[in-house]
A and B are shown apart, each in its own frame.
Chain A
């Protein structure tokens, strides 16, 4: 019975130990030791994850209960972990990509002092711990612990350079926007508890319990959970925190704000797939919100000049695709895209970090250009990342994106057309970014040019590994129309989505149509890339400001301004109003009661005049009143 599954707790345990060591001993650890603790614990988790993966691949899954967390009445919420196909896949992504990013960080953060270096790794380890809880939790409450935990770590890491007020504001914004989503998640949990008295996945997804839920329940629960997903995974209307989150160190952007945390929403919906399948209305909303976010963010990315901002909006846009996939029932496709996206977006962010490192903290691509001469490895790997995200056939992004778009087509051709338009924009802004950064002439200062250098091995090794994964990672999900039974990922994940698959109408698209769609889109993408390449590889700095619509895009559709005007300012104004009401309204009444008592007693005191005559008069009046009452009551 001693299966490796029983030791699943080791996976989150190692990063927790790393967090405690680096956090508590931060004043006495040297940088190399901090790095070894930080990376070593994640590597250990990765090794265990691989063993777990092999075990699951051999057909063993299981739940491991550590202790009873909260229980009341008949409801029991255990602290327990679920090891199955979906969670192991995420374990591999989190610990694998996580390890590479930890390794990268040892070089990227070397300028920090020992104490802050240790603080950084402590936060990073705590993040991995929380993320692992999120995907390993065998019920919604443990998932929620991880869910808020990653939000906290995101807050801490965005505001890592805490002296900077701007960064602090970005961190706060991220936390608050996530909290709005979290409230939705919590309410969904309470709804489930109220209706079926359990939140354990195995029980919730059990037919006996599903039958207790009405159509309305399904819609309410899935909608509320989706509100949670829009916060964590930066979808309309809660996406604006993610671009601001780029204030954090670049490896953080790669790990948290591209590869792992922001995909939590997709994981959660994929985990709850049966609930969503039972709520067609929510599915439509998810698909529409996903597509709208994908397009909106892509348009903004077209006009951004900060290398990280382009990638940030690109992330929002790609997450939108994943939700589109979920919304049209392509659960496998969405998870597939999570995986390939983790590879190429982590690669692109780390590449951007390498550029920023080489350029001494320059992030504006207008001041770059021609970097391919100076940074060969970074250049080549970045190019592979761009090809992958653009969806060039053969690269990983092609397979996952194609799977989502094909499912969208089957649902509604309109979804496909809009999705394809987004894909073209993606190719355009990515190659605009690539060409402005690496092609043409260097546009920075002489000082910068003099110091330009390729980054050290701790930075380039992760780039190379991720580039290989970005190039070939898609081959585990080759679609049916290209090769019979070659979608290994689909076969692997099939048990998780079995119930939904059985309920969904099978929509086969003709293989010829698929070939035409994939081929046509690829051709268009190549044309768009050529266009962007030719236009931006000879980019010259101009002082002109963008006018008209370009300006709207540059300013991100003014959504932040809109939120500030509609929510931020009125909330504050309301608060000030309430404060006034408290002081001059409620408290005034309270004091008024006191004042009137004092006033009354001052007046009453006058009756005690000391004149016998007035006392007699009062006595007579009193007797008359008493007599009147007597008479009145007798009647």
Chain B
């Protein structure tokens, strides 16, 4: 029941919004629907927390033996919680942004939420693919209709690039379908992988590469990332928030659900290659982040570095590392949301995102500064913020992992980004918030109350998880252990 509600609420709201022309009504409805989704999700994690409520399994396309199968295990709960928690914050946090045809904007936003939730719950490959595209397409329209100056070229690239990845994923899924004896069920995929010791076969390698490509583009993994900074820059801020806070997690989730347990032998065999790309990408993105003048591009590259660590911890696996990835998927989502909200507030007020044009904001907007500083500290994973827990467990997992002979080198090289992260983050704080006021920032106003509220919620979440991470860690402990068990081969 919970999965069905989670899909239907945003889906119906999204479709209905196309008919409602009044801007504020549309916005309010979208906001209330997102709150309702959150309520359902929270109910699913508390009073309805049992198999009967959390799974849904019905016939879908009989001829293909594909089923409407949703399941909310710990990992799905975590990501659905992230999604349903983020949407109200995104809608309320950008309340002051004005859009032409606002009802369509919010309609697409809600459709995208339906797609995302479907992705995180599907236990059937075809269904997964269906929602994967459903989540993407509304975002494409959001960007191409409401985006920045270069939106057409950028969204075209974004769409073609990610769609290409999706197509390869579809081919891989079909190959797996035959391999699993004409079944799209995730459980059958996994069972086949565990029983057929098909390690090293070229077919498995092909499947691995195609799935990997799809997820690598989505996260993104270096060197498949170049669509991302442009797209983040050109997409309207609410869209960027969805893209980076939630959609990037689709790739990581995809790895953990649909790649690692499904093609474990190839994962093991090519783990070092992917891990190397991840580490190179982390350093690469950190160095580039240090050079960025546009706030959105800075956050975009910083995000590539952070996601890189998750990929590393998946391909140099250990229990600690996987648990770190789990909790970090959630943390990264809300932290980057906080960063975007600050960026959005700045852009709304000054009409620019250029670091070099700003300065001295702290003198006039102390509340915004304090909230930003806490979010930024989480971005550099200072202890007692949520990101420290995730990064600590991931680094610890990588260094202690027995899966790769290079684990120490990976951990040390990736560790350098801890230093580089501090460099670019503090540089940004200093240039934008400290120093003297200039002509542009002379009349800075304190950020609006609703942004303060949303950022405060994020700050509280950052600190609560950072001080007492246990509930989130417990939520995913079983799933992490299962994934790890399926990984250990040879």
Q: What is A's interface to B at a CB cutoff of 8 Å?
A: 67-73, 75, 115, 141, 144-145, 148-149, 152, 155, 159, 162-165, 168-169, 172, 175-176, 179-180, 182-183, 186-187, 189-191, 193-194, 571-572, 574-576, 578-579, 582, 586-587, 590-591, 594
Contacts and interface: CB of A to CB of B under 8 A. Distances in A.
B263 to A, nearest CB: 25
Contact of A194 (B362, B377, B400, B434): B400
Smallest CB-CB A-B distances: 8 pairs = A194-B400, A145-B383, A587-B226, A162-B434, A190-B399, A575-B287, A575-B291, A578-B287
29 contacts: A67-B468, A68-B470, A69-B469, A72-B319, A152-B382, A162-B434, A163-B363, A164-B435, A165-B435, A168-B430, A168-B434, A172-B426, A175-B426, A176-B423, A186-B392, A186-B418, A189-B396, A191-B399, A193-B320, A194-B399, A194-B400, A572-B290, A575-B288, A576-B291, A578-B284, A582-B284, A590-B161, A591-B157, A594-B157
Contact of A186 (B400, B415, B433): B415
Contact of B427 (A148, A172, A193, A571): A172
Interface string B223-234: 100110000000
A67 B179 CA distance: 48
Nearest to B222: A586
A187 B411 CA distance: 8
Contacts of B395: 186, 190
B64 interface: no
Given A172-B426, A183-B418, A186-B418, A163 B223 contact: no
Contacts, number: 123
Contacts of B382: 148-149, 152
Contacts of B412: 187
Interface of B: 157, 160-161, 223, 226-227, 284, 287-288, 290-291, 319-320, 323, 360, 362-363, 366, 377, 382-384, 389, 392-393, 395-396, 399-400, 411-412, 415-416, 418-419, 422-423, 426-427, 430, 433-436, 468-470, 473
A179 B436 CA distance: 27
Contacts of A582: 226, 284, 288
Given A70-B469, A193-B320, 11 more contacts: A70-B392, A72-B473, A115-B366, A144-B383, A149-B383, A163-B436, A176-B419, A194-B399, A582-B288, A586-B226, A590-B161
Contacts of A591: 157
A259 B193 CA distance: 61
A172 B182 CA distance: 59
A574 B400 CA distance: 31
Contacts of B468: 67, 69
A148 B469 CA distance: 19
Contacts of B377: 152
Nearest to A180: B419
B388 to A, nearest CB: 8
Contacts of A594: 157, 160
Contacts of A69: 468-469
Contacts of A576: 291
A159 B469 contact: no
Contacts of B415: 183, 186-187
Given A159-B434, A176-B419, A149 B384 contact: yes
Nearest to B466: A145
B418 A182 contact: yes
B434 A70 contact: no
A145 B320 contact: no
Nearest to A588: B226
B419 A72 contact: no
Interface centre among B290, B396, B411 (most CB of A within 10 A): B396
A542 B396 CA distance: 58
B362 A179 contact: no
Contacts of B470: 67-68, 71
A574 B157 contact: no
Contacts of A579: 287-288, 291
Contact of B396 (A182, A193, A571, A578): A193
B399 A163 contact: no
A70 to B, nearest CB: 6
Contacts of A152: 377, 382
A183 B419 contact: yes
A386 to B, nearest CB: 37
A536 B301 CA distance: 56
B384 A145 contact: yes
Contacts of A186: 392, 395, 415, 418
B410 to A, nearest CB: 12
Contact of A163 (B227, B287, B393, B434): B434
B419 A590 contact: no
Nearest to B289: A575
Contacts of A145: 383-384
A162 B319 contact: no
B403 to A, nearest CB: 13
Nearest to A152: B382
B204 to A, nearest CB: 25
Contact of A586 (B223, B411, B435): B223
B405 to A, nearest CB: 14
A405 to B, nearest CB: 36
B384 A183 contact: no
Given A190-B396, A194-B399, A586-B223, A73 B319 contact: yes
Contact of A176 (B400, B422, B433, B436): B422
Nearest to A26: B366
A51 B393 CA distance: 37
B208 to A, nearest CB: 21
Nearest to B424: A575
B119 to A, nearest CB: 25
A72 B320 contact: yes
B383 A70 contact: no
B409 to A, nearest CB: 12
Contacts of B287: 571, 574-575, 578-579
Nearest to B392: A70
Given A582-B288, A594-B157, A183 B416 contact: yes
A190 B408 CA distance: 10
A180 B422 CA distance: 10
Contacts of B423: 172, 176
B439 to A, nearest CB: 16
B435 A162 contact: yes
A152 B323 CA distance: 27
A73 B320 contact: yes
Nearest to A583: B226
Given A187-B415, A190-B399, A190-B400, A179 B434 contact: no
A73 B434 CA distance: 44
A590 B226 contact: yes
A462 to B, nearest CB: 30
Given A145-B384, A163-B434, A175 B157 contact: no
A179 B422 contact: yes
A169 to B, nearest CB: 8
B274 to A, nearest CB: 17
Contact of B411 (A164, A168, A190, A587): A190
Contacts of B418: 179, 182-183, 186
Nearest to B160: A594
A241 B418 CA distance: 18
A173 B291 CA distance: 18
A148 B291 contact: no
Given A72-B323, A187-B411, A582-B288, A179 B399 contact: no
Contact of A148 (B161, B226, B319, B383): B383
Contacts of B383: 144-145, 148-149
Nearest to A119: B366
Contacts of B290: 571-572, 575
A217 to B, nearest CB: 12
A182 B415 CA distance: 10
Contacts of A148: 382-383
B473 A70 contact: yes
Contacts of A67: 468, 470
Contacts of A172: 423, 426-427, 430
